[in-house]
Amino acid sequence: MYVCLQVVGEYAYLLEDMDTEAVIEKVTTLLGSKFEEAETCGWVVSALTKLVSQLGHLPDSVQSHIALYLNSTSTDVQQV
The string of pLDDT tens digits covering residues 30-57 is 988 888 887 888 899 889 999 999 988 9
Cβ-contact 23, 55 below 8 angstroms: no
Amino acid present at 78? Q
The string of pLDDT tens digits covering residues 2-34 is 999 999 999 999 999 999 999 999 999 998 888
Show the domain range for 42. Answer: 2-79
pLDDT at residue 80, as a whole number: 55
- Sequence-distant (6+) residues with CB within 8 A of 77 are 38, 39, 41, 42, 45, 69
Q: What is the mean pLDDT of residues 68-79?
A: 67
**How many domains, in total, are found in the chain?**
1
**Greater pLDDT, 71 or 31:** 31
